Amino acid sequence: MHQTLLPQIGPVLEALSIVGIFVFAASGALAAARLRQTLVTFAFFALVTGVGGGTVRDLLIGAPVFWVHDAVPAIVCMSAALLVWFTPRRLWSDHALDWLDAVGLAAFAVYGAAKAMSFGIPPLVAAMMGVVTGCVGGIMRDLLAHEPSILLRPELYVTAAALASGLFVVLRWWGLDVPVAGVIAALLGFLLRAVAIWRGLGLPTYEMRD
């Protein structure tokens, strides 16, 4: 791949990563809150949801697993768990988990694609790594909470992650600076997910034909 396409992970993308970790961790803690679990379960759900996608990404692209070598992501996850634990349940709307998930999805998808590109992963696969980063943590959370996996629902979820990560790769291909490409891609990915939540949009499902 052409050298100019390899983005350096700068402060804007690092900020997107921290935002993604925090809101995904908070969504994990909210899932534990819905189940009326203990603080230990809150912390575990928060950690798995916050770092799950990035862990799978790093293992796939041959990178050191990010949160094993840096304590900040784990601290962010624990902080999110404590915030949810000590916040009265009435202050969280019924759709809080969906909106937190939407923010984390877009932020993680862009960061995951950028990190994959920085390790020399081809553009198409880098975009797929963005989808993995954005979606796997939420899938793990749903499995732990015995909720129907987002993959088994027709709503626009993986599609929003694919838009964010794919658009970032395309914008970089066109020569946009990393911070600009990252912000544009994350915002549009979030907007697609937000509209899907607001309007109940989903993909058509397969119908059996005789």
89-128 tens-digit pLDDT: 777 776 777 888 888 899 999 999 999 999 999 999 999 9
Mean of pLDDT values over 181-204: 89
Q: Answer yes or no: is 42 within a domain.
A: yes
Tokens 């909210």 sit on residue: 30
**207 vs 162 pLDDT, higher one:** 162
Total-model pTM = 0.87
Rounded distance between C-alpha atoms, residue 124 and residue 23, angstroms: 27
pLDDT the model gives residue 20: 87
Q: Answer yes or no: is 207 within a domain.
A: no
Mean of pLDDT values over 80-85: 96
Q: Answer yes or no: is 158 within a domain.
A: yes
- Interior CA angle at 199 toward 32 and 94, to 5°? 25
* Side chain identity, residue 174: W
Rounded distance between C-alpha atoms, residue 167 and residue 173, angstroms: 10
pLDDT in tens, 120-158: 999 999 999 999 999 999 899 999 999 888 777 777 889
Domain range for residue 68?
Answer: 9-199
Say how many domains are in the chain: 1
pLDDT the model gives residue 174: 92
Identify the DSSP state of 38.
-
Q: Answer yes or no: is 126 within a domain.
A: yes
Mean of pLDDT values over 163-178: 94
Q: Answer yes or no: is 205 within a domain.
A: no
* Token pair of 52 as six digits: 């799950």
Question: Is pLDDT of 7 > 60?
Answer: no
